[in-house]
Structure 1
């Protein structure tokens, strides 16, 4: 069946940013027959009668950005009670000053890419159900959350579905919840916050937020909420005292922590000793422990509510069993499905064999309880330093404390799950006649695979020219109790390592899978990813490999022909090309692909190549979003970028709308030291980056952030030059300054808190950064014309202009494409190489032939 697909038309206001994206799921798995696997240690032929291949790949790995793989914790560190994060050494074998990349890390990198390229199963996905809370969420996700905790009685009347109780240890040392007494239809009441009273209360033993209290309550009935727009059923505390008194009953005040504008706390009635405790299973206890945040541990203690006698709130399922529990009324709830359960069953069948398993090995457990294992036929050595290299380390003093990588996790379902309706849509009008919109998203409670599936394989974007400031923590670090920061000793870009990939008894197709991945790794336009710190741009590596195939008959015929063992291995470029071609034919054939001639033409593989593209997009477009992002147009100057749960676009949409799609990204060997080419400044000119544009009723103004300054400059579209009609956020520009509007004149409430210049930008033009191989970000939507295009061919010109830059604008039949020169002239182009596959937006050099001033044909001449 066809699975839900992420759309390519997410509106600009609904698009999220992230340092990662996804290679989409395959429509189907390409499988192999287990009976065709060769016996271990026997060298023969494959099922087609061809000789199985053995040999090795000599590989040289060059770091293109800082790289770090952590060393294992030493016995000395362990005895001192140190955590792994406190061990900063790069992995090593004998000498900590000689970094080594473990073969296991290289194996994981290669296997992951082989899984994607060979359309193997999707199996390395968490089977734990995420836990969530959605208080105040206005999307469909928040609506579903509230339905679990509140029963809709109709006409905007709601009854809480949570209950109060107490944690207890059973005779078997398991956890259970003893329900509180049900008084008047509820087990808890609400009390108005009174700090003078609360300060007199006695703490419950071993509980940080629970206090003994004596109360009198009113009836359990509906009260008005939000000015009468809603009605919620509650019991109110009418009288309270720290000591017993006539007319008061015993209860427990359960404080849930400070929240702005909170007016009440919950009071849970005393335990009901006549009711049997409700059992909790180990999975529920494990899920509770895993969802405990650092804030919750600070409030409740390290164990949370897992303390005998601790007050809790809980929700029951339809069978009357505990669904989940927590310390407050609006508790976190587990989703009914895990990410693994959102992988279509046809893509994760354990009884089937895929190519990654056939090459790297597997251990399977079948439904009948039987197990079956098969050893991999590939072994990968550690990568050791190429000799005679100096200044290996990235930081002057070796050790770096990196920024905390606390970005979105799988609970951020709007990123990790396919959202087929990411844009808001109108559902009616408000009471005052304004349009009313709704955002309907799918989460782990949605039906899978009917409504949604996981996005696919998660990969991180590359970030070229990573500087120490991009990695190093700049905030002041508290030495006591800091459990989040770690230490590392990354090596610098340009460090070379060498390693071997040995293979035995691989078919030509299987060897081709390995070589296809390594071919991408050696291409100037791509880099692979390895090690820690990927969201910060670390771990980009280039791998060059040479194939050596062993001639077994020749080897044994000359085994003792000299004073050394005769290996019978020889470098074989022809075999490499043949194996890659065989692999591609096999996969395309199994997929019943009728149009594509190479893997690179498939949408899924295009997404993979997008993610591996070097030097990668503008880092400003591949950052984590922020809860408090500086924004001169927002109230208080900050904006929560997570509001409305924006959705992560596909790699294709990202490339098309934010950078020049699939432009060749060749780079010199010394990547880290390559300077960015910039347009020279004229007198009084200033550089900056567009922060926002298209504001106001006429979408006619915006702001530029000055380079090297935290001030924003006002700009109106009337000040754009060079034929510009508009600007886009993130565009680099050059401008001059002139007298302009005061900050208060553009809608700011507090002048002293807004770092907005009292001048405005004049004569604004785009700045193209980098060479044609590394184009500046392309604006979203319509292409902005450049201010000074190169001259067109003279009128009546006949002849050939050699090696000029062209861009593919249309794919044609055969090996032809329609291209456009930088002057806007179009012609059909031939002689393109078969690899990589042609794509709209690709740029290269071509010889363009003119007749009487008009281009008649073009011939491909290279990527640079």
Structure 2
């Protein structure tokens, strides 16, 4: 790079002349997009390095000498405005690194296509230049890879009990002095597959497609950037997994799951009382004697007696949106009671929870094991005489009728096949009129369950005019969608609190004479809470760090913020102790220095939030440490580890009709997004990582987490499950600063930066691997977490990668959940990362 000296400069116009040191040539220059703080260093007398554009103009300038006022040497005394000498020279130090500029309309610091091609070839990435990325192809077999898998965590090392260790739990270095190594890592990042980083600005609403939105690539002043926070998060996730650090961000809720195996045993009931006076549960088991077991788990293994009549009565209320095969094809008593019949008229001002008179008739369902009482007439409480007269008329005919008071339970037409609401009553059964104590903790648990129901649907409910009625779809080929349950709508609008008169279903334990409440449910096929929360299945040594004296490797490096008082036990933890620790890393934004071009507008396939309720994917058997299709969040299970998205190979996956990342038929609605300006493979971004006070092995761990190993790729940005965002980070330069010399001198900062060569960089990485081997007793490459990372972030064994679905061709409706409810597929747990050879359609 040639050098020259500025001989004149106009800060206002940001232009001047350079005298080339070698040839004596005079070069005019004009710098564009140089911020004011940098312009102060571009005065006459400065020695600089510079680059020329193809047309001979100066387009890049880097200051290489300290600024001395009036071109005086450092040893000379400075003068004041009157020309009098002062005791010490007046020197302004330049910022570390180059001052970039723009000339000829080109972006500052950009590589030409020719230089970019040379660079990518040197980096071993020549085959993924813009327009040359190869597709992974189409899978012809019957298998596919799930787009994510898990990196397992390691057992607590035996040596950890003997004292602190650099890669276990210990106190971080102080911030009031420098210890260890400080400096800067300069990196370049190349995307192997299309890359998209979403911008919070420039969002376009699509008024014609049900709330569909378009997003642009992140940019500032028209220049594409990767935010430093995105780069930091990408590297931290790998660093956490590689060093077996704590799970810093973790959901502590108990999750729920749908369980129909309890349905037959749930007893209808009415909550009475208040929080102040206490709650009672009035049991309403109809005319049946209750079956109650001492151990609640026994319900899951017992068959409900075929001769037993269901507890609650059925009230025919609407013809199904999607009639079952029974109603369509059969021709028996039950079908005659529904098909072509008008539902019983409800008394005026009658709604959910209303007390009513009803005439019930015993019926057998088309299914031979279901017997129930059907509501044939219903009246208001003050219309007793009329309903008794009707009852006497019916009794004269043939049939098993009863007359009783009860409560109307209405939950709306919340399933497409639903045709009947329920009627809760209690009439001459064992323990008739029984009331039991309802602990407040069971009430609160029920309210949490309703809140979880609401959380799943609130966003959609807010957009509907009347969510308690079926919605007629405006889309061609679609009929009505089921309504939302009454309790979900209430939970979304006001928040749900149990009040006197609420109708529920209860699972009971103990005995019929003295039952205890196991849980309450709002519907007969309910969601129920798992026994354990996710946090309870995670070993305590991996819980979020609580005290600064024992921080995990990632929290010591990237920073830590303690939880609230509840999360921070008082024992050995004074009230005035530290509650946060600033990280020792600073990531710059990634500036694009070679633009490989843009993809056109892409309407992406549906993406959704994680589904940890898919237990066969998220859990392992505690004893065998193997996957299983029959696990719950309970004592016999453990968490698999940290979730990572698979690298898709040289290009996003395809199916016979197109790319996996595209929504079938280009369908646009509020379930998916359209992205603009996605970067084609082969773009180059440059960023820096400033570090301070690192031990050599910590620097090695950071370098390993940045550049990974040959054939491994980071995942970054949006649409990673669809194949976007596979990137390779190349460490270009590692500088370690001699801080003692720096602070004893007034000369340029970079003059005291020692650049490590490749051998020294590898020595730091080997130091990290050696420390991990000493701590865990195995070679670095034999550790489970490292093997899983290598497998997930390397070229996959199958080209087809997508979320589970029943067919090779994706469903335009995006109903992938049907794979999980198919009994045959439920037996396919997600294999361990190292054993993943695919799942079957």
State TM-score, norm by structure 1.
Answer: 0.56
Q: Which residue of 1 aligns with 2:408?
A: 252
Structure 2 residue 721 is the aligned partner of structure 1 residue 535:
yes
Deviation at 1:363, TM superposition (A): 2.6
Equivalent pair of 1:164/1:188 in contact (CA under 8 Å): no
Equivalent residue in structure 1 for 2:740, among 544, 553, 560: 553
| 1:198 and 2:331 correspond | no
Residue range with higher mean Cα deviation, 485-494 or 266-275: 266-275
Number of residue-to-residue matches in the alignment: 564
Equivalent position to 1:332, from 499, 505, 527: 527
Aligned to 2:685: 497
Aligned counterpart, 2:358? 215
Larger RCO of the pair (alpha carbons < 8 Å, separation 6+): 2
Contact 1:251 1:270 (C-alpha < 8 Å) held by counterparts: no
Distance across 1 between alignment mates of 2:358 and 2:624 = 49
CA distance in 1, matches of 2:257, 2:629: 15
Maintained 8 Å contact 1:628/1:639: no
User: Could you say if the C-alpha distance between residues 133 and 256 of structure 1 is closer, same or farther in structure 2, counting changes exceeding 3 Å?
Assistant: farther
Q: For 1:606-636, what per-residue CA distance to the aligned partner results, in whole angstroms no more than 9, with x for missing partners?
A: 121010103x34332x3222256679xxxxx
Unaligned runs of 5+ in 2: 1-140, 291-309, 317-336, 389-402, 428-432, 462-466, 468-482, 811-816
Moved more, 458-467 or 494-503: 458-467
- Alpha-carbon distance in 2 for matches of 1:639, 1:84: 25
Change in 2 beyond 3 A, CA 1:128/1:452: same
Partner Cα separation in structure 2 for residue 498 and residue 83 of structure 1: 39
Shift of 1:73: 5.9
1:777-827 Cα offsets, whole Å, 9 max, x none, are xxxxxxxxxxxxxxxxxxxxxxxxxxxxxxxxxxxxxxxxxxxxxxxxxxx
- Choose from 157, 175, 196 the match for 1:40: 175
- Please name the residue that 2:470 is paired with: none
Cα distance change of structure 1 residues 129 and 203 upon mapping to structure 2, 3 Å threshold:
farther
Range that drifts further, 99-108 or 503-512: 99-108
Q: Give the conservation status (yes or no) of the 8 Å contact 1:22–1:650.
A: yes
1:643 corresponds to: 823
**Does the C-alpha gap of structure 1 residues 366 and 241 become closer, same or farther in structure 2, counting only changes over 3 Å?**
closer
Distance in 1 (alpha carbons) for counterparts of 2:272 and 2:435: 16
For 2:777 and 2:756, locate their aligned partners in 1 and report how far apart those are by CA, in whole Å: 34
Deviations 1:299-358 (A, max 9, x none): 226843547776443445779786554442121101011222111224337454321122
Question: How many angstroms does 1:199 deviate by?
Answer: 6.3
Going from structure 1 to structure 2, the CA distance change for 1:200 and 1:35 (only over 3 Å counts) comes to closer
> Residue 256 of structure 2 contacts residue 529 of structure 2 at CA under 8 Å; is this kept in 1?
yes
User: 1: distance between equivalents of 2:449 and 2:524?
Assistant: 18
Within 5 Å, which residues of 2 pair with 1:401-550? Answer: 401-406=603-608, 409-419=611-621, 441-447=629-635, 451-463=636-648, 464-466=650-652, 469-475=659-665, 477=667, 482-489=669-676, 490-520=678-708, 523=710, 525-545=711-731, 546-550=733-737
CA contact (8 A) 1:73 1:87 kept: no
1:253-272 superposed Cα distances (whole Å, 9 cap, x missing partner):
43564768778642124999
User: Aligned-pair distance for 1:603?
Assistant: 3.6
2:199 is aligned with 1:66: no
Taking the aligned partners of 2:252 and 2:622, their CA distance within structure 1 comes to 23
8 Å CA contact 1:325, 1:331 repeated in 2: no
- Structure 1 residue aligned with 2:229, among 104, 111, 115? 104
Specify whether residues 474 and 189 from structure 1 end up closer, same or farther in structure 2 by C-alpha distance, changes over 3 A only.
same
What is the CA–CA distance in structure 2 between the aligned matches of 1:83 and 1:225, rounded to whole Å? 40
The gaps in structure 1 that reach 5 residues or longer are 1-12, 45-51, 136-145, 151-159, 425-438, 632-637, 659-728, 731-864
Distance apart, 1:412 and its partner CA = 0.9
The residue correspondences of 1:796-835 to structure 2 (distance < 5 A) are: none
Comparing 102-111 and 176-185, the one that deviates more: 176-185
2:182 touches 2:694 (CA, 8 Å); kept in 1?
yes
Query: If each structure's helix is expressed as a fraction of its own residues, which one has the higher value?
Result: 2
| Distance in structure 2 (CA, Å) of the matches to 1:321 and 1:381 | 59
Larger gyration radius, structure 1 or structure 2: 2
In the alignment, is the contact (CA less than 8 A) between 2:195 and 2:726 conserved in 1?
A: yes
Query: Following the alignment from structure 2 to structure 1, what is the Cα–Cα distance between the partners of residues 799 and 148?
Result: 11
Task: Quote the residue 1:745 is aligned against.
Answer: none
2:802 aligned with 1:623, yes or no?
Answer: yes
Aligned residues of 2:413 and 2:419 also touching (Cα < 8 A): no
Aligned-pair CA distance for 1:216:
3.1
Cα distance per residue 1:524-583 (max 9 Å; x no partner): x121111121110111111111211112234345x3346x77453434433312211111
1:240 maps to which residue?
A: 377
Do structure 1's residue 54 and structure 2's residue 244 form an aligned pair?
Answer: no
State whether residues 132 and 332 of structure 1, in contact with CA within 8 Å, keep that contact through their aligned partners in structure 2. Answer: yes
Identify if the C-alpha distance between structure 1 residues 177 and 519 changes in structure 2 by more than 3 Å, giving closer, same or farther.
farther
Contact 2:406–2:423, Cα closer than 8 Å, also in 1: no
Q: Which secondary structure does the structure 2 equivalent of 1:498 belong to? A: strand
Q: 1:224 to 1:88 in 2, by over 3 A?
A: closer
CA contact (8 A) 2:191 2:726 kept: yes
What's the secondary structure of 1:471's corresponding residue?
Answer: coil
| Contact 1:359–1:376 (CA under 8 A) maintained in structure 2 | yes
SS of alignment partner, residue 619 of structure 1:
coil
Distance across 2 between alignment mates of 1:273 and 1:590 = 62
Offset of residue 113 of structure 1: 0.7
Give the conservation status (yes or no) of the 8 Å contact 1:60–1:497. yes
Distance 1:590 1:274 in 2: 60
After TM superposition, the structure 1 stretch with the greater mean CA deviation from structure 2, 375-384 or 349-358, is 349-358
1:77–1:492 Cα change, 3 Å: closer
| Whole-angstrom CA distance in 1 between matches of 2:503 and 2:242 | 52
Quick one: distance in 2 between partners of 1:250 and 1:555?
86
SS where residue 584 of structure 1 aligns?
A: helix
The structure 2 residue matched to 1:313, chosen from 482, 501, 505, is 505
**1:408-807 → structure 2 map (5 Å cutoff):** 409-419=611-621, 441-447=629-635, 451-463=636-648, 464-466=650-652, 469-475=659-665, 477=667, 482-489=669-676, 490-520=678-708, 523=710, 525-545=711-731, 546-557=733-744, 559-561=745-747, 566-593=751-778, 596=779, 599-614=780-795, 616-620=796-800, 622-627=801-806, 640=819, 642-644=822-824, 645=826, 646-654=828-836
Bigger CA drift: 604-613 or 278-287?
278-287
